[in-house]
Structure 1
């Protein structure tokens, strides 16, 4: 049975501000006891793991680690979310469209009975097309597929799309002034390893986002006493900017329907 808490964005927490932990653990399984160790050492209650590899396959390690974290921490893990890095060339599963890749993630999460946020990572280091309009459509296809899954499953599952990126990557891939994605994915996970646990230091508005919902302020930290071979990404959230998911989804769906109608 799905916990009702999972329908809430991970950004909602008891306090107004919160620093937490994300794991990029492709290929490395973290068992229940290791999660207990990490929890006792770092005190996190929000967890983000990667479930789609840019080589073009669902990362089963990410799925396993979510389940192990749930089993190991129980009520201690209040919120969890996942990320996907789209495949852009030579995809191992031969899924080349944004729609097909989003559905691959959604279908696997449905099977694992995991619902919540799906963040799409946009990184200029990946082999994006030099055609920004082509990249824009690819990203919109992913976001709209995630957003509309509630309708396609008869209300059994709910997902909310977000974006993980920074100004330089977004500007390079789709252009800083491209704002349509922000209507579908209002939650921006801003990557800037400046060590500042806030949402403003060094942030320049772009893509329609005036402020991030999450700030990844440190990353690729591997030294710990609990598990080996994993990278930590520390992030900071603020519940002051949290909006009810129903209102977010309603606004996104209305905007998407309007934009689709305008293009016809």
Structure 2
């Protein structure tokens, strides 16, 4: 039997193999996660953990606040053997009770700096949460808030990036092509359950992503978490 491959088919195969060969699997968590679960995911080949460090906190602690699960989750991940750990910030936006972007960033910086926490990168989570009514401003104000968070993180000189997707970006900024800083690493979400950096829909000046959240709220190792793949 003879197999005839076109040049395009060969290139497609090579690209697919390259994407998988150099990809790193990761998980992200916000709920309290045990050391046992972290060990289990690490044994399954997940190399990176991204832990929520800051949350909207509209309830009893309005204005945004440190995630109370962060330190425990961080310590459990470390004890499980993870050495590649990132943190993400789901900021408080859209309400008069929200602290300023600078105040929220300062709180997170202080948390990490005073607890001997070592993270590779901070991710700023830019998405709409219908249940909380975040980003409840006009387009001009939303863009201004984004710029303020960007300026605050830029001033820290820490490694940081953006988490979002085309739909969220367009919903919040009013224009999928509006650019904040497309040189930042981008972690995008497309729930196709495929651990390959593909199906990217350009927005914000980005033409590709650094990471992809490909499965949300998945049951893995006895816990609910999100699955990701990174370059």
The reply to whether TM is greater than 0.5 is yes
Equivalent residue in structure 1 for 2:228, among 231, 235, 255:
235
Matches within 5 A, 1:52-201: 52-55=54-57, 56-73=64-81, 77-89=82-94, 95-114=98-117, 115-125=119-129, 126-150=133-157, 159-174=158-173, 175-183=175-183, 186-201=184-199
Corresponding position of 1:207? 204
- The answer to whether residue 21 in structure 2 is matched with residue 18 in structure 1 is no
Q: Which runs of 5+ in 2 are unaligned?
A: 1-20, 58-63
Contact conserved, 2:26 with 2:50, CA < 8 A, in 1? no
Runs of 4+ in structure 1 off by over 4 angstroms are none
Write the distance in 1 (CA, Å) between the matches of 2:39 and 2:169: 36
Q: Which runs of 5+ in 1 are unaligned?
A: 1-14, 151-158, 239-264
Contact conserved, 2:37 with 2:221, CA < 8 A, in 1? no
Give the TM-score normalised by structure 1: 0.69
Could you give the per-residue CA deviations for residues 132-188 of structure 1, whole angstroms, max 9, x where no partner exists?
2211121222222222214xxxxxxxx2121111111100101212112324xx111
- The answer to whether residue 213 in structure 2 is matched with residue 220 in structure 1 is no
Contact conserved, 2:95 with 2:134, CA < 8 A, in 1? no
Q: Which has the higher helix share?
A: 1
The size of the alignment, in residue pairs, is 200
Write the distance in 1 (CA, Å) between the matches of 2:221 and 2:23: 24
* RMSD between superposed Cα atoms in Å: 2.0
Corresponding position of 2:15? none
Write the distance in 2 (CA, Å) between the matches of 1:140 and 1:116: 23
* SS of aligned partner of 2:215: strand
Corresponding position of 2:47? 45
